[in-house]
Amino acid sequence: ALKLFTTLFGLFGAAASFFLMQESDFMFITIIFALFVGLFGPNLVLSKLVSDRRDKIKAAVPDGLDLLVVCTESGLGFNAALRRIADELVVSHPDFAFELDTVCAKIQAGVEMPVAFKELVDRTGVEELTGLVSMLAHASKVGGSIAQTLRDYTEDYRDKRNQEAEEVAAKIPTKMLFPMVLFIWPCFF
């Protein structure tokens, strides 16, 4: 409905600029801008909102994994631990808490745990959880300790995040080279 409204608004803006700016040199640019905003504006806003939500959920995963390790090692079952984590993360990470709550509801409704987590990955787009899904599925099939599996995955995930941060930090000097050449080097002369 919002996209239809903005498309109609863009068409109205283009028509208004056509009739009101007949003598102006900027009429054609104004028409194209109004149509662009009307047709593609909602897509750009939606993709930005999706990207922000994905980043928030991705930032919440380490906290959730640490809490999951603590809860499973303290004796809670996996489903009860997920429910507890969803309740605890509502304040600090509401998006991730909502997604975990959805997973808990699906598991209680009879959906298998790996399927519920696969749907979580599909919904959120956070591909880092794919490894967790496969490890939990394997641990439940083999009958291994879920707490130890979670601890190992949490350590691997933490190492992976550190490597990504180091990679970003290693790219910074190269990115700073061009502004320094453009703005600082001419000042020496």
Beta carbons within 8 Å of 78's beta carbon, 6+ residues apart: 72, 113, 136, 146
pLDDT 10s digits, 114-166: 888 889 889 888 887 888 888 877 776 777 677 788 888 888 888 888 898 99
Beta carbons within 8 Å of 9's beta carbon, 6+ residues apart: 38
Write out the CATH class of domain 55-172.
mainly alpha
pLDDT value for 166: 94
In angstroms, the CA 96 to CA 64 distance is 8
pLDDT value for 99: 92
Using the predicted structure, report yes or no on whether residue 100 has a pLDDT greater than 80: yes
Looking up tokens 């997973």, which residue turns up? 103
For 70-137, the DSSP string reads HHHHTT--HHHHHHHHHHHTTTT-HHHHHHHHHHHHHHHHT--HHHHHHHHHHHH--TTHHHHHHHHH
Looking up tokens 């880092």, which residue turns up? 128
Confidence of residue 38 (pLDDT cuts 50, 70, 90): confident
pLDDT 10s digits, 58-88: 888 888 888 988 888 888 888 888 899 999 9
Using the predicted structure, report yes or no on whether residue 176 has a pLDDT greater than 80: yes
Taking residues 89-95, report their average pLDDT: 92
- Name the residue ranges covered by the structural domains of the chain: 2-51, 55-172
pLDDT value for 181: 83
Cβ 17 vs Cβ 30: under 8 Å: yes
Give the rounded distance of the alpha carbon of 17 from its chain centre: 38
* Residue closest to 99 by CA, chosen among 132, 72, 75, 70: 132
pTM of the entire structure?
Answer: 0.73
Using the predicted structure, report yes or no on whether residue 31 has a pLDDT greater than 90: no
Instruction: Give me 107's structure tokens.
Output: 């598991």
Identify the three-state secondary structure at position 176.
helix
* Of residues 152 and 171, more confidently modeled: 171
Of 37-41, 70-74, 103-107, 135-139, minimum mean pLDDT range: 135-139
- By CB neighbour count within 10 A (0-12 exposed, 13-18 middle, 19+ buried), where does 143 fall? exposed
Query: How far is the CA of 108 from the CAs of 20, 21, 76, 94, in angstroms?
Result: 61, 61, 16, 21
